[in-house]
Amino acid sequence: MLETDADRLDLLRAIDQFVRDTGITESKFGRDAAGDPRLIYDLRRGRTPRHKTRLRVLHYINRAYIDRAAASREGR
């Protein structure tokens, strides 16, 4: 499945929000989420991610938010 420019921009918005919410650096996010410290830099310059990469990044973001919510419920 080919990703569109709108998909790329939606992914970038989700990443930017996550980076703001968590304070993680962009390079650490890229490395942790996709094994690519230049991920955000390249996306901003027009790189179109593969469908698998997009899903992997969104899974990473969702998992992190779920883990944070669980930790706050447990009082950590």
Residue whose C-alpha is closest to residue 12's, from 50, 54, 52, 51: 54
pLDDT at res. 73:
87
Residue pointed to by tokens 């989420």: 33
* pLDDT at 1 > cutoff 70: no
- For CA atoms 20, 48, 6, 52, the dihedral sign is negative
In angstroms, the CA 3 to CA 63 distance is 22
| Residue pLDDT, tens place only, 20-66 | 999 999 999 999 999 999 999 999 999 999 999 999 999 999 999 99
pLDDT at res. 72:
87
pTM to 2 decimals?
0.88
